[in-house]
Amino acid sequence: MSHWARINEWLEHRTGISTAVRKLFYEEIPASSGWHQVFGSVALFLFLVQAFTGVLLALNYAPSPGEAYNSLQYILTEVTAGRLMRGLHHWGASMLIVVVVLHMTQVFLFGAYKKPREATWMVGVVLLLLTLAYGLTGYLLPWDNRAYWGTVVATNIAARAPLLGPYLTSLLGGKDSIGVVTFARFFALHVLLLPPATTLLIFFHIYLVRKHGVAPAPGDEYVPKKRFYPEQAFKDTLAIFVAFVILFIMAVVVRVPLERAADPTDTAYTPRPEWYFLFLFQTLKFFSGSLEVVGSVVLPGLAVLLLLVVPFIDRDQVVAVTRRTFALTFVALAAIAWTALTAAAVITTPKGANRATIDFSSPSDWLQLSPWKRYKRGYARFAQTRPDTKRLMADYGSDIDQISIPDMNVVDRCTTCHQGISQSTLAEASVPQPYRAHPIVPHQVKEWGCVICHRGQGLATEAGEAHETTLAWEQPILPVSFIQGSCGTCHRADIPQAPRLRRGRELLVQFNCVGCHRLQGIERPVMLGPDLTNIGTKVSREWLYKWLKEPRTIVDATGKVTVNGYETGDEPRMPKFRLSEQELKGLTAYLSSLRSTPVAPYKFDPRVVAAWEKKPDLVEQGEVRFRQMFCSTCHGLAVTRAGEAKLIGGDIGPELTKVGSKANPDWLVAWLRDPQSYLPHAQMPRYGWSDEDLYVVTQYITAKLVDPDLLSDVPKLGPSTAEEVQLGRRLFLEKGCPGCHTIEGVPSQKDFGPDLSNLGGKNVSQLEFGQAKIPRNLIAYIQAKLTDPVSVNPAARMPQYYLNSADIGALTVALLSMSGPASSSGMERLIVPRKQAALHPAGRFGEVYERYKCYVCHQFNGYGGTLAPDLSFEGSRARWSWIVEFLKNPQTLRPTLTFRMPQFNMTDEEAAVLADNLGKVFQSPAARPVDERAFTPGMAAKGKQLYEVKYQCQSCHTIGLGGGYVGPNLSNVGNWMAAGWIEAWLRNPQALVPAAIEPRRAFTDDEIEALTAYLLTLRQTAKPVAAKGAGR
């Protein structure tokens, strides 16, 4: 016995397969069986084709409204033989309906539904309905305009069904609109419910056919039998082969329609169902208003019911087909009616203009194994349909297009498929991708390519490889909302076209991320958070407990959660650490023990205290003095206006709304008198307080800027133990606190967290996702770490920051820009422009300059703050006497500004020292000295006319009580500004101050001279300046 025989014997004994095959092929059938009985086998074959191609399509299909259309485009253009598979599936569905109808017609004409085959016929009718249901549910899945609006009509028809209408509509998910629910249910019906139901009914149908036998031709009930094999098997096989050849040719030659993506707003669209439903579509036109239900539900329902009951109506003896006059007439009339209605629907229903049917390639390309060639040829054919064909084809080539940028190690082949990327006439939305033009950007796309901004694999010539994560390439193209991250890989300075990137970089600095991480282009400052060396003398242990437990949650008496003491504004920069009760007690014990420089109570002049204690308005006068000192220029303060709490003031110093409940009163007095005695590098200036001013202001702060209930929910902590202090010291290091805070004797911790300077360039395989239930890509990883670090790593040391979705997106963009060293393409390299070297003047000027911390608000030759005007050229701008007077008693120069220079209570000598150095050192070469004696009253009169009439400068500037508030007040400009500065400013404001908003006017030299003469006459009487400068 051969091996094959043994295998066959083994299978036969265990499965009986040989016996089953013999029964199938050697079944006895009527001798009259012939070509008219091949339709059942062909229908079964076509069903199997539908199942096979459906599975292949489903492997690359995304079943959601947002992705269905794009995934179908991907199948058509990127999947090998994807277009062929869709063609087989689409036209196979139509052919299946045709064959099933022919099979039912043959059975009807032969009367093969009569006893005992009634059940066989009824199962066949149900199978016909299921076949039509496939067509209905699958129609929506391409999610183009044709599918969408066709389904709208179908669901509206279902809604008009008597009694069952509302339930059918709810079941189909189309009660209000066609969306995610409808799509999901149609997909579930098409893929999950209909296939098993159809399979079961097919098996049941075959069982009934075998049970009752194949119906003989009418009048041949008693003819001899014959075997199914070989004659009938050959005929069925040949019929199947012919059907497949026809189907294959249709799939290759006849393009399956795909219109533009579904647009629910395109209400002008005229829907057209599939051809086999067109007769019903046309029938509906004969019924309108209340009769519409007749055409949409009643007549189709009666037709189905009639088919089901035919075996019970026609019980006559089976006769020859030629003698079945009624059956022949009925079939003929039905065929004529169907043809006429379908033809009328085709003729009378407009296709619509500008429907942008997508045609990616010709039939000869569908089996092409090089996807880029399909796009190339498709673009050429598309260009031939345009009036500007010659221009569109000017740069066309049949080979791969490649852009090479050696300095950036970039090879970009994207324009091979995106042929029209630089063609301005292809920018409209109706142009199909990938031929549509790129939106206008500062770069020449043909020179820079695509991957520099969009990322992805530039070398790839297949869309899936170019756009997505693959085994060989782990950096897919960026979503559009994160594209600004690519700007930062080259442009290390802020650019206006990338506001999201700029905001992300600001947040990286604001939240002191560089305290733990190395970040590209951001240098670590000397100090990030407050110095904690003497924190025990400043705040209580209870306040530290409250802050460490939840920096954001400071609850007021009404239970409202406030931020830093106020209800609106930025979130605190201090993150929330996940601290247990024991850890909270340990850290508070350690921090409250830090008292290296004890604060001794200040002894006020007893006469001042005694005098003010008798006054009932002590606190109110303290508030007045607080405001007169313009403390809000640097410090925020919550005020209630119209029932709403808002923060006003600056952010250079800490917010003070509840500082009276935070700070130790003795510490507060000591700090206000001399901040540097407590913190040598403190940026707060040292004011020249009188005992009276200091006393009333501190009384106001401790009486009004408080919250009695601030610490009401803090447990009693009791005295600190040595064990708690030791635990707190260890936790301070383990939690990375030295990354932001300085404590004398505790070394800083550089690079406490991972290096993020190349995070944007990392591959997915380099990231640790842990058990996080997030997509495995870089953007999801970054956002998970920002949103909830523990979700990625339960043991994470990174604390919890308070970020809204917009800030998370901005930070993600900024971190994506961190992709390693910048290219050598000559672009800027710095994320934040580095400040000039710190200005450390010597001598008496240096002492005064450091005491009042002038550099915190003002810039000097590129170094310092930006809150107040740049003083680099102040010596050329302002007169010595005016500078002295202003320093002693600062006045409002720009009424619209919220911030004012505080009153420092400078001495005459200090003001003179500052004025001397500003006048001698900080000069502008653009402002040359002018002899003011040359100006005449006539010039001034002419200048006044120019100011008020010709140029109407009063629109922006105030003189006296009249004028605008955009520019500075000029009432005292003659005492304030030097003539040389005025002339230089009128000639070109931006040459002196690049960011000046004053327009540069085309003044003539005579006009400049006249305006200067007039402005110098604008003087207010001031008291004589008593201060004397060096050499004065």
Strand (E) positions, 810-910?
A: 859-860, 863-864
Return d(Cα 924, Cα 682) in angstroms, integer.
Answer: 31
Using omega within 30 degrees of 0 as the cis cutoff, is the peptide bond preceding 747 cis? Answer: no
The answer for residues whose C-beta is within 8 angstroms of residue 590's C-beta and 6 or more apart is 724, 725, 726, 727, 728, 729, 731, 732
In contact, 78 and 371? CB cutoff 8 Å: yes
Strand (E) positions, 106-235?
A: 225-227
- Look at the pTM and tell me if it is higher than 0.75: no
Domain with CATH 1.20.810.10 in the chain: 26-348
Interval 780-796: pLDDT, tens: 999 999 988 888 888 88
Nearest one of 78, 77, 70, 76 to 89, comparing CA atoms: 76
Q: Looking at residue 362, what is its pLDDT?
A: 45
Interval 625-639: pLDDT, tens: 888 888 888 888 877
Express the helix, strand and coil content of the chain in percent, nearest 5 each.
50, 5, 45
Is residue 263 left, alpha or beta, with left meaning phi > 0 and alpha meaning psi from -120 to 50? beta
Show the tokens assigned to 458: 């530039």
Nearest one of 368, 370, 366 to 84, comparing CA atoms: 366
Using omega within 30 degrees of 0 as the cis cutoff, is the peptide bond preceding 116 cis? Answer: yes
Return d(Cα 320, Cα 219) in angstroms, integer.
Answer: 6
Show the tokens assigned to 441: 């950007």
Extract the residue ranges of the chain whose pLDDT is less than 70.
Answer: 1, 21-26, 28-32, 34, 157-177, 216-228, 265-269, 288-290, 292, 318-322, 349-371, 471-472, 524-527, 552-572, 641-645, 820-838, 893-899, 1021-1032
Q: Looking at residue 698, what is its pLDDT?
A: 93
Helices (H), ranges, 371-425: 371-384, 389-392
The answer for residues whose C-beta is within 8 angstroms of residue 178's C-beta and 6 or more apart is 140, 148, 151, 152, 155, 264
Using omega within 30 degrees of 0 as the cis cutoff, is the peptide bond preceding 230 cis? Answer: yes
Span between the terminal Cα atoms of the chain, in Å: 129
Nearest one of 624, 622, 653, 619 to 637, comparing CA atoms: 653
The answer for residues whose C-beta is within 8 angstroms of residue 688's C-beta and 6 or more apart is 904, 905, 906, 907
Nearest one of 430, 472, 434, 471 to 454, comparing CA atoms: 434
Domain with CATH 1.10.760.10 in the chain: 535-739, 843-1015
Q: Looking at residue 559, what is its pLDDT?
A: 37
Q: What is the 3-state secondary structure (H, E, C) of 298-330?
A: HHHHHHHHHHHHHHHHCCCCCCCHHHCHHHHHH
Return d(Cα 758, Cα 776) in angstroms, integer.
Answer: 18
For 597, other C-beta atoms within 10 Å of its C-beta total 13
Domain 26-348 CATH class label: mainly alpha
The answer for residues whose C-beta is within 8 angstroms of residue 597's C-beta and 6 or more apart is 533, 534, 537, 677, 678
Nearest one of 1028, 461, 503 to 806, comparing CA atoms: 503
Hey, what amino acid is at 368? Q
Hey, what amino acid is at 552? R
How far is C-alpha 985 from the chain's CA centre?
Answer: 45
Nearest one of 613, 760, 630, 767 to 696, comparing CA atoms: 613
The C-alpha torsion from 875 through 876 and 882 to 885, rounded to 10°, is -20
Is residue 741 left, alpha or beta, with left meaning phi > 0 and alpha meaning psi from -120 to 50? beta
Containing 282, the helix (H) or strand (E) segment is: helix 278-283
Nearest one of 356, 303, 434, 362 to 146, comparing CA atoms: 356
Look at residue 179 and give its three-state secondary structure. coil
Return d(Cα 725, Cα 732) in angstroms, integer.
Answer: 10
Nearest one of 90, 271, 257, 258 to 178, comparing CA atoms: 271
Show the tokens assigned to 771: 């058990």
Return d(Cα 339, Cα 333) in angstroms, integer.
Answer: 10
Nearest one of 364, 183, 367 to 264, comparing CA atoms: 183
Pairing type for strands 28-30 and 225-227 reads: antiparallel
For 869, other C-beta atoms within 10 Å of its C-beta total 17
User: To which residue do tokens 């004797």 refer?
Assistant: 745
In contact, 690 and 740? CB cutoff 8 Å: no
DSSP label at residue 637: E
**What is the longest distance spanned by two Cα atoms in the chain?**
140
For 885, other C-beta atoms within 10 Å of its C-beta total 22
User: To which residue do tokens 């001399």 refer?
Assistant: 674
CA distances from 165 to 298, 796, 935 (A): 12, 56, 93
Q: Looking at residue 373, what is its pLDDT?
A: 78
Look at residue 878 and give its three-state secondary structure. strand
Show the tokens assigned to 1031: 């050499």
Return d(Cα 514, Cα 512) in angstroms, integer.
Answer: 5
**CATH among 1.25.40.10, 1.10.760.10, 3.30.70.260, 3.40.50.720 for 535-739:** 1.10.760.10
In contact, 687 and 672? CB cutoff 8 Å: yes
Show the tokens assigned to 659: 């500082």
Domain 843-1015 CATH class label: mainly alpha
